[in-house]
Amino acid sequence: MDPEAARTARESLDLAFHMSNILDTGLDRHTLSLLIALSDVGLNPEALAALVKELRKEPPRITTTPSAP
């Protein structure tokens, strides 16, 4: 990967991260870069979004489970 491409990639990621923050997605930089990579290999963005959502939903379950047993 030549430096030019790397720079473009970084800038793109920066911009994307900014946008992500404006939209208040709550994604960190690394996660975002993973998502971009996945989306670029052709995975469905909808599925990715669903995945993010579902995995994030875990916390309530965890916070509530301890009180159960």
Partner 1 sequence: MEEEPNNNKVFDLIRELVVRLLSNSSPTQSIDSERALKYAMRILSSRMTPSISIDEASMVESIKRNLVNEGKSSDALNFADLYNKFSSKSGPGSVKNKWGLMYMLKVISEDRKKDKKSDSRVSSGFFASTVNGGLPALFDDLNENSRKTLDNGKSSSRFGGGGGVLLISKDSENFRDLAFREFGNLLKEESEVLEGVLVRDVLYTCQGIDGKYVKFDKNLDGYAVGDSVKVPRATKVMVRKLCELGWLFRKVKGYVSECMDRFPAEDVGTVGQAFCAALQDELSEHYKLLAVLEAQSMNPIPMVSEATSTGNYLSLRRLLVWFAEPMVLMRLMAVLVDSCKVLRGGAMAGAIHNHAQHGDPLVQEFMRRLLRRVCSPLFEMVRSWVLEGELDDIFAEFFVLGQPVKAESLWREGYRLHGGMLPSFISQSLAQRILRTGKSINFLRVCCEDQGWADAALEAAAAVGTTTRRGGLGYGETDALEALVIEAAKRIDKHLMDVMYKRYKFKEHCLTIKRYLLLGQGDFVQYLMDIVGPDLSEPANTISSFKLAGLLESAIRSSNAQYDDPDMLDRLRVKMMPHGSGDRGWDVFSLEYDARVPLNTVFTESVMAQYLRIFNFLWKLRRVEHTLIGAWKTMKPNRITSHFLTKQEGAVKQQFVSTLRRCQVLWVEMNHFVSNLQYYIMFEVLEVSWAHFVDEMEAAKDLDDLLAAHDKYLDSIVEKSLLGERSHSLFKTLFVLFDLILQFRSHADRLYEGIHELQARTVDHSKSSRGRTKSRLKSNNESSEVGTWVSGGRKALTQRAGEFLRDTRKDLEVVAKEYSSSLEGFISQLPLQQHVDLKFLLFRLDFTEFYSRTRLKK
Exposure string for 19-58, b = 16+ CB within 10 A, e = fewer:
ebeeeeeebeeeebbebbeeeeeeeeeeeeeeeeeeeeee
**In whole angstroms, how close is the CB of 32 to partner 1 at the nearest point?**
9
Whether the CB-CB separation of 13 and 29 falls below 8 Å is answered with yes
**In whole angstroms, how close is the CB of 21 to partner 1 at the nearest point?**
10
Residues 9-68 that bind partner 1 (CB under 8 A): 9, 11-13, 15-16, 18-20, 22-28, 30-31, 34-65, 68
Binding site for partner 1 (CB under 8 A): 1-2, 4-9, 11-13, 15-16, 18-20, 22-28, 30-31, 34-65, 68-69
